[in-house]
A and B are shown apart, each in its own frame.
Chain A
Amino acid sequence: DVKVTQSSRYLVKRTGEKVFLECVQDMDHENMFWYRQDPGLGLRLIYFSYDVKMKEKGDIPEGYSVSREKKERFSLILESASTNQTSMYLCASSPPGQGFREQYFGPGTRLTVT
């Protein structure tokens, strides 16, 4: 079974802090994704990566950056956390040749910025 793990299930940070969210997958997947999920807005893509050191902006990249130094690990960074970044953050991966379909998700990190 594909396993995607995220470093924290719950996180509380203060406004202005730098926040790191880590995601690791164990299935050698090429593609990895970061989403945020908010009530009424659904899942929105923040960034994705199709290879090590490669990244592409999603629909809402403002205020975020990412890092992919190793194939199995994809990090989301909030440079200076703000209250409007309070959300559920979901990491996903998908195998090559699938055109990003059939994504496997981690359990999510519920981030609260106060």
Chain B
Amino acid sequence: TQLLEQSPQFLSIQEGENLTVYCNSSSVFSSLQWYRQEPGEGPVLLVTVVTGGEVKKLKRLTFQFGDARKDSSLHITAAQTGDTGLYLCAGAPSGTYKYIFGTGTRLKVLA
């Protein structure tokens, strides 16, 4: 079974702190996407990473794709309460069309 494991599963931090969440697999992916889902809403696409070692920044969010394209990380600098939500990584393992979602990291940022 091809899985995308995310860690940690839950994270509760104070506003202003930094954090990193991880997305890991034993499979190689041609690309990975990161989504954020706020309570009661659908996931919203944040970014796509394509090249091994690629780093993309979206304001205070930094996304990195592992060199071997089997893992990715999301780093948030100076978290804000508006960053609260469920963070999902997703992708299709190379050679397949099957698109899978990670297990998710539920982030709560406290004021």
Residues on A close to B: CB < 8 A?
4, 42-43, 45, 90-92, 99-108, 110
Interface of B is mostly: loop
**Segment from B62-70, B73-81, B99-107 that makes contact with A:** B99-107
User: Chain A at the B interface: mostly helix, strand, loop or mixed?
Assistant: strand
Instruction: Please state if B45 and A102 are interface contacts (CB–CB under 8 Å).
Output: yes
- CB-defined contacts of B99 to chain A, threshold 8 Å: 45, 99-101, 103
> Which chain B positions have C-beta within 8 A of A102?
33, 45, 48
**In the complex, A98→B105 CA distance in Å?**
25
Which residues of B are in contact with A by a Cβ distance under 8 Å? 30-31, 33, 35, 40-45, 48, 88, 90-92, 97, 99, 101-104
Asked whether B33 lies within 8 Å of A107 as measured between CB atoms, the reply is: no
A-B contacts, 19 listed (Cβ < 8 Å): A42-B101, A42-B103, A42-B104, A90-B43, A99-B92, A99-B99, A100-B92, A101-B33, A101-B90, A101-B91, A101-B99, A102-B48, A103-B43, A104-B45, A105-B35, A105-B43, A107-B40, A108-B40, A108-B42
Contact status B41-A107, CB under 8 Å: yes
